[in-house]
Amino acid sequence: MSNYASGAVPEANIEADVSDLMTAQSSDSIQAGMMAEAVLQVDERDVIVGPISKADSHYRVGALHRAFSVLLFNSEGKMLLQQRAHDKITFPSVWANSCCSHPLASEDEMDEVNARGVKRAAIRKLDQELGISPSSLNIDDFHFITKMRYSARMNADWIEREIDHILMIQADVELNPNENEVSAVKWVNAEELDEMLVVDGTENVIAPWFRCIAARMMNSDWWDAVGDKRACEALQDDMIHDMGDVTHMLPDAEGADLNTSIMEVRPFIEQRIVESLTASRHERLAGAMMHLIHGGGKRMRATLPWLVGRAVGDTHSGLLDIGAAIETIHNFTLVHDDIMDDDEMRRGRNAVHIEYDMPTAINAGDAMLAIAFERLVMSANIDLQDIPSLVNRIAWMVRRVSEGQQLDIEFENRERVTEQEYLEMIEGKTAVMFHICAELGARVAGADEEVIECLADWGLSVGLCFQLMDDLIDVLSDSETLGKPTGSDVAQGKQTLMVIHALKQPDSAAKTRLLNVLGKCEEATEEMIQDGVAALQELGSIDYARKKANEYHQHAHACLDRLPDGPAMIALRELTDLQLKRLS
């Protein structure tokens, strides 16, 4: 068995910026040194992906990794608790279960037969943290009970993201706590633990993972099973209990920025999308469906149900399934949009109907819509009774998107479009997805109707602001930033809010200059397009569109102001500001 004394603890390289941060934040060289330990990165099913340093698995986005929590009871039936040392880099000073740490990337501690790997790791850490001699413990006295998956952020820099293997053992042991690891210990019975869970105060902060165990999982059956091998074995299950993001359980937790928050769950959403779209028995169809997915994307819509859910309620992986379903639908609409708009490029690569062919692209889009609903109804973490209402709302979203697209098609043959018609169109084509992602995120997380309505309103306002800013960016950004010629919307004659406003103005030289380029397509030179953009500016149309976007932006923030503040609100506010910052 690897141990600290032998110097055989496996290590992994630490990324330079993490190493620099640890040096700046901790003067404890022992704690900093242990952050090089090679822990086990795993997927959502607890399958080992490979070794990763303890530092990198906890830094910023972090990585899902394997952990264990020991519940050590004495012969009186009391459980040992420890208060983590004040100099710990992650979660210092909080009260936790008897011992909690990680199996390392060694053959002994990766042994999954009868959970012997995590049991060996537990013996190693009970010695290192509490001075409990390994000779006083029998590995067969440890009882594996279950697993739980959770994430808990301490601040912008440090996060726990674990699949935690929960072990129980009864043993009378001699303690010699390591001051570098443990600042205090206590033995508690069930009633005393319950009291700790409800008492507030800086001296009684409970670690989020232990609160999950003690408040959500551990019942009287667990206490009654202490010292009874058969009763402990009866508690065992093959489940991974999904606790979601429990950052809110730490009183002084600080949230992370939008990009970090997205990247925490984006890989799991990507995996769901890929699994769904590549399940087709037909390779060419699967390739066509995956073509735009391979092109990337920020996945803001996909992560939005999760981001909203953790801000107002309880999260679980069902929110990721909803995000994957809506992202698949979003990409289905892009496939068909490119066909209808005769666009040859999307995200810097050929559109699907160009890369494959028109019939295959149409068929791929149809299949993606069906697969999205399939992903939704097969979600393991969404209650069956909730599925019909979710399907109904997402189906309504698809209908609104189609109605918005139809309006957009009809606008191409109209000389004049009203402002209200334009807003109705972009609500369908763009804003309704933000609306539904936010609404469903709040609903599935268990928020009340007032909060659900508030966040649906927020999502709609963010979506409308998003599209209005997108129109502005088309005329105000440079071609390199856009990835297409500046002012292309003007050359194509798109009736954006700016154009609608300009056409309502009295006849003038500026209006004539705009009309000279509007809708000229390939005939429009770069000079003509820039003159048309200048005309929009002179007519006050750019300022008008910016003012309208700002109104939706302010309304979105007003919605968030109605909600309790918390760590997860940072990401929602950054998302609200995202498009405006592109032109700041």
Residues 401-414 pLDDT 10s? 999 999 999 998 89
| DSSP string across 293-361 | HHT----HHHHHHHHHHHHHS---THHHHHHHHHHHHHHHHHHHHHHHHT--EETTEE-HHHHS-HHHH
pLDDT at 16: 65
Rounded to whole angstroms, the Cα distance separating 519 from 511 reads 14
Tell me what pLDDT residue 365 has. 97
Task: Give the residue among 365, 267, 269 at the shortest CA–CA distance from 324.
Answer: 269
pLDDT value at 526 more than 50: yes
Confidence of residue 297 (pLDDT cuts 50, 70, 90): confident
Q: In the predicted model, is pLDDT for residue 356 greater than 70?
A: yes
**Alpha-carbon distance 97 to 281, whole Å?**
48
User: What's the rounded Cα separation, in Å, for the pair 453 and 198?
Assistant: 31
Residues 263-290 pLDDT 10s:
999 999 999 999 999 999 999 999 999 9
The sign of the CA dihedral 465, 466, 469, 470 is: negative
Is the pLDDT higher at 480 or at 112? 112
Mean pLDDT of 318-343: 96
Structure tokens at 164: 């935690």
Residue 482 gets the label, from left (phi > 0), alpha (psi -120 to 50) or beta, of alpha
Domains defined along the chain, listed by start: 16-249 (3.90.79.10), 255-447 (1.10.600.10), 448-584 (1.10.600.10)
Tokens 């109707």, located at residue: 449
Q: Tell me: pLDDT of 3 over 60.
A: no
Average pLDDT of the residues of the chain: 94
- Whether the pTM exceeds 0.85: the reply is yes
CA distance 137 to 80: 15
In the structure encoding, which two tokens stand for residue 48, read together?
């080992």
> Residues 73-88: what's their mean pLDDT?
96
